[in-house]
Amino acid sequence: MAVLFVGWSILEGLGATLVMPAIQTLVTSNYSGKDRAIAYGIIGGIVASAIALGPIIGGWLTTSYTWRLAFGGEVVIVLLVLLLSRYIRDAPLETEEKPKMDIVGSIISALGMGLIVFGILLAGTYGWWKARHPFSIGGIEISQFGLSPTPLFILAGGIILLCFALWERHVITLGKMPLVRLDMLRDRGVASGIFVQMIQTILIGGFLFSMDLFLQIALGLNAMQTGFLYLPLSISLLIASLIASRLSARIAPKRIIQIGLLVLIPGLLLAIATINVEVRGLPC
């Protein structure tokens, strides 16, 4: 558990955090107009393909061999990407001053978000408000007065994120480069885009996580069978990504997003209406 916590959760999480914004920057700096839309469509198609093949390959390795091989496969893919990265044209800097990493801001923001996520994870065990049983660390009981640790950790994370916002304002006052320019949130388009992306991530992520538990715990399917059941979803994601990139040249991207959300909602409602949470162990 300790190795998974440090290696997969922390180290791999830090790496993914560095990669994702850079991908957006490289696409916007190397492509424009219709080519940029196609580039984003290709990226979406690759992500959809990974969603389709990942559970199947990972399920096959887990069922037939060991789940550790799935992590080994990630190492091979990363090494291949590093070899091909020399062919990528870097994004030009718009300023002569070399940007510096806001280390303090990174630590504060990670700590605040980490406490909030940790508090939410504890809700399943201890409850949202009233503790189902005492919470202790190192033999020291923390949840006093019968309170669940969930609101305490969430509140602590919120306070730390408020400190993060104050720190970023201080960095800007000093004329340095902050980790996040919070004044961008005043732009209605930016704030709306972030909110929509957050809602989409919560809906899709929550659905996939819940379905994994339902299929493997309630229905008793193995990892490989679960991966194959996700195949129709992955194929539709691939097709939609390729179609949306071409439609964006004719239809406003905002309309495409609205249509996608309108299709997403009845799909989730249909899944809720047809799943019986009391079902147990169907024969495979």
Look at residue 160 in the predicted model and tell me its pLDDT: 93
Query: Which one of 150, 178, 206 terminates a domain?
Result: 178
Match 């659905």 to its residue by tokens.
Answer: 207
Look at residue 140 in the predicted model and tell me its pLDDT: 65
Look at residue 284 in the predicted model and tell me its pLDDT: 46
Domain count, the chain: 2
In a domain? residue 29: yes
DSSP reduced 3-state for 177: coil
198 and 74 both lie in a single domain? yes
In a domain? residue 36: yes
255 and 114 both lie in a single domain? no
In a domain? residue 13: no
Mean pLDDT of the chain: 79
DSSP reduced 3-state for 117: helix
CA distance 115 to 160: 9
pLDDT in tens, 45-62: 777 677 767 777 877 887
> Cβ of 203: how many Cβ atoms within 10 Å?
15
Pair 183, 166: CB distance under 8 Å: no
272 and 192 both lie in a single domain? yes
CA distance 232 to 238: 10
Look at residue 92 in the predicted model and tell me its pLDDT: 67
In a domain? residue 156: yes
How far is Cα of residue 178 from the mean position of the Cα atoms in its chain?
A: 23
Burial of residue 112 (number of CB atoms within 10 Å: 0-12, 13-18, 19+): buried
Look at residue 121 in the predicted model and tell me its pLDDT: 78
Look at residue 159 in the predicted model and tell me its pLDDT: 94
Pair 135, 143: CB distance under 8 Å: yes
C-alpha dihedral, 10 to 15 to 17 to 21, nearest 10° = 180
In a domain? residue 51: yes
Residue 191 has pLDDT above 90, yes or no: no
CA distance 115 to 103: 18
250 and 197 both lie in a single domain? yes
86 and 110 both lie in a single domain? no
284 and 254 both lie in a single domain? yes
Q: Compute and round to an integer the Cα radius of gyration of the chain.
A: 22
Residue 157 has pLDDT above 70, yes or no: yes
41 and 53 both lie in a single domain? yes
Match 């209605």 to its residue by tokens.
Answer: 188
Could you tell me the residue range of the domain that residue 259 belongs to? 23-99+188-284
pLDDT in tens, 225-278: 877 887 788 788 778 877 877 777 778 878 888 888 888 888 888 888 887 766
197 and 273 both lie in a single domain? yes
Query: Which one of 156, 178, 200 terminates a domain?
Result: 178
Tell me which residue of 56, 53, 33 sits closest to 45, measured CA to CA.
53
Residue 162 has pLDDT above 90, yes or no: yes
Residue 205 has pLDDT above 80, yes or no: no
In a domain? residue 38: yes
83 and 135 both lie in a single domain? no
Terminus-to-terminus CA distance in the chain, angstroms? 31
166 and 35 both lie in a single domain? no
72 and 197 both lie in a single domain? yes
221 and 242 both lie in a single domain? yes
In a domain? residue 12: no
In a domain? residue 3: no
DSSP reduced 3-state for 281: coil
Query: Which one of 157, 178, 199 terminates a domain?
Result: 178
pLDDT in tens, 68-119: 887 888 888 889 988 888 887 776 666 566 667 778 888 898 899 888 888 8
CA distance 107 to 115: 12
> What is the mean predicted confidence (pLDDT) over 129-151?
71
